[in-house]
Amino acid sequence: MMRKIGIIGMGHVGSTVAHGLIAEGVADEYVFIDKNEKKVQADALDFEDAKTNLNNSFSVTVNDYQALGDADVIISAIGKIELQYDNVEHDRFIELPHNVEQVKEVSAKLKATDFSGVLVVITNPCDAIAAVYQAETGYPKEKVLGTGTLLDTARMHRAVGSAFNVDPRSVAGYNLGEHGNSQFTAWSTVSLQGQPITKLAAEKGVDLAAIEKDSVVGGYTVFDGKGYTSYGIATAAIRLAKTVVQDAKTEMPVSHKRPEFASYLSYPAIVGREGVVAYSQLDLTEEELANLQKSADSIQTQFEKVVAH
């Protein structure tokens, strides 16, 4: 069976996602969509030039929405990063009004295709935009997912790993809620070497609050250094896309619409070819539950402010 992935938006992030997918040989066919015809054609040619030095074969179609009809996954990487350049408060919602209009345009074109796969949303603000896509396309909510705190969780793992001098892949646990300022680290879920991280931190004098702050603002550090982020978010999107294509049924903290919340937000779920195939249930503390609700309210308020009015 041929595997096909579409990427809508071939800017810094979209092209990085494309490179990672192609380098790993995740799909056999790719569809690149971008309003900048010259740029997307150049990307396609650039990847053709890479074929001789790769171990896998693939084909690329450019700016053909109908070619997305039989895709397994479509990744939305549209956005306007320039809106963030003077954003001193580092608020991802500053892109929402612009991106909502773009999403409506893309959704109308997607609805004219036979696409029935999983839509993966990177576009910021990720949670609200995933909600807009789901509303505009009418796709099943289980099949519209945002990368959400899959990236923020990785940043937390990196910071914990650094503090305890271990590989970040040895760290378990999650950041939850919004992919944005109201997210939080659910420390009750975090462990290392079979021990609760709170116990290890107390024994070694590690400041968990500083680690949590690092996981929240780490993206801004990258952004301030190069004017955008790309590798971390691209790798998160690639992992999510691979999970879908391979029907891996992997638990990961992705942005999705849980039954108990009105908004999209990040919480662990089992992901496979049909999107979310099972909902996880964490044993959170009362404080963490309150933080999760606060994050959900923040997302929903901003969503309603721009979309419903």
Tell me the pLDDT tens digit for each residue of 135-151. Answer: 999 999 999 999 999 99
Distance CA 84, CA 92 (A): 8
Strands (E), 151-307: 171-176, 184-192, 195-196, 250-256, 265-272, 275-279
pLDDT digits (tens, 9 = 90+) for 249-269: 999 999 999 989 988 999 999
In terms of residues, how long is the chain? 309
Distance CA 100, CA 98 (A): 6
The 118-121 sheet, strands edge to edge: 59-62, 29-33, 4-8, 73-76, 118-121, 144-146, 250-256, 265-272, 275-279
| pLDDT reported for residue 181 | 82
pLDDT in tens, 94-116: 788 889 999 999 999 999 999 99
What number of CA atoms fall less than 13 Å from residue 69's CA on the CB side?
A: 6
Q: Which pair of structure tokens corresponds to residue 265?
A: 């937000």
Cβ neighbours, 10 Å, residue 283: 7
pLDDT at position 233 is 96
Backbone angles phi, psi at 74, to 5 degrees: -120, 135
pLDDT for 139 equals 98
pLDDT of residue 12: 94
Strands 144-146 and 118-121: parallel
Strand partners, 75: 7, 120
What φ, ψ does residue 112 adopt, rounded to 5°? -85, 0
Q: What is the pLDDT of residue 83?
A: 60
d(CA 228, CA 13): 9
Looking at the DSSP bridge assignments, the partners of residue 157 are: none
Cα–Cα dist 24/201, whole Å = 37
Q: Active site includes 179? A: yes
H or E element that contains 146: strand 144-146
Predicted confidence at residue 90, as pLDDT, reads 55
In this prediction, residue 217 carries a pLDDT of 79
Catalytic residue selected from 12, 157, 179, 256: 179
Q: Cα separations (Å) of 130 from 96, 120, 142, 206?
A: 11, 8, 11, 36
Question: In the chain, which residues have pLDDT < 70?
Answer: 82-92, 307-309
State the sign of the Cα–Cα–Cα–Cα dihedral 73, 14, 261, 177: positive
Residue 29, beta-bridge partner list: 4, 59
Q: Is 117 helix (H, G, I), strand (E, B) or coil?
A: coil
Strands 29-33 and 4-8: parallel
**The pair of three-digit structure tokens given for residue 172, joined into one six-digit string:** 């378990």
